[in-house]
Amino acid sequence: MKKHLFLFGGSPPFGPKLGKLFASYAQGPNGKVAILFLERDGWHHYMPRYTSILAKNKLTNFLFLALPTSDSSMIEELRSCTGIIIGGGETINYHKEIIGTILGQLIKEMYDQGIPVAGFSAGALISPLHCIIPPIDNPFNKHLFLDGLGLLQEYVISVHYSRWNEEKNLKTAVDRLPVSGGIGIDDDEGLYFENETLINSEGNNYVVVEKR
């Protein structure tokens, strides 16, 4: 069973190439994609940023799953989805609502079964086995080293790489953690991993830091 992971360094939308690829793995017109996001005022108006490119590829059925949620019926409906998107926003809150929860366990199970998962910004940060959150992205103003979803075992991820000046933080994480390396992703960049191997990109604005 092939596993499909799409990671983006900034906010949605998908790029045309990776959006088409995600839609194809999510079964296109016959698919249903869950979008996990932090609930805030006006969220309905933001959702087209996630859905627009997918809709152009005939994927139009979406489950909007606002966090936090204790709605067991919504979580159960997630099981029927053929694709999962984890949105952007306050990374520490995504981590709190997903990692170590039933929701997080289900995402990992579905990913292992071949359901494509996409993470934008915060969604990308929590996707690896090791989640690193830089000082600029948390209220503690510290470099946080936390557990992640485990969708990517050998690499840690930095997002907004150039805008947040993440080179030092990423190298520190690679040196400290038991990983092969790290990947810094810029705002306008998307990466596609098949079976945890990077095989495609859109934007060509990313760096790979190998363990020294």
Taking only the tens place, the pLDDT of each residue in 54-102 is 999 999 999 999 998 867 888 889 999 999 999 999 999 999 999 999 9
Rounded Cα distance between 200 and 124, Å, is 16
Q: What is the pLDDT of residue 207?
A: 97
Where along the chain do its domains lie? 4-210
Beta strands 62-67 and 197-202 are unpaired
- Give me the mean pLDDT over the 173-200 stretch: 97
pLDDT given at position 36: 97
Helix, strand or coil for residue 170? Answer: helix
Could you give the CA distance from residue 29 to residue 82 in angstroms, rounded to a whole number?
11
Domain 4-210: give its CATH superfamily: Class I glutamine amidotransferase (GATase) domain (3.40.50.880)
pLDDT per residue as tens digits for the range 119-128: 999 999 999 9
Q: Indicate the DSSP class of residue 121.
A: T
- What is the model's pLDDT at position 212? 81
Share of the chain above pLDDT 90, in %: 91
The yes-or-no verdict on residue 4 having pLDDT over 90 is yes
Judged against a pLDDT cut of 90, whether residue 195 lies above it is answered with: yes
Question: What pLDDT is attached to residue 75?
Answer: 84
Q: Is 121 left (phi over 0), alpha (psi -120 to 50) or beta?
A: left
Across 73-137, the runs of DSSP E, i.e. the strands, are: 83-86, 117-120, 130-133
Of 182, 128, 184, the residue nearest 161 (C-alpha): 184
For all residues of the chain together, what is the average pLDDT? 95
Q: What percent of the chain has pLDDT over 70?
A: 100
Q: Look at residue 120 and give its three-state secondary structure.
A: strand
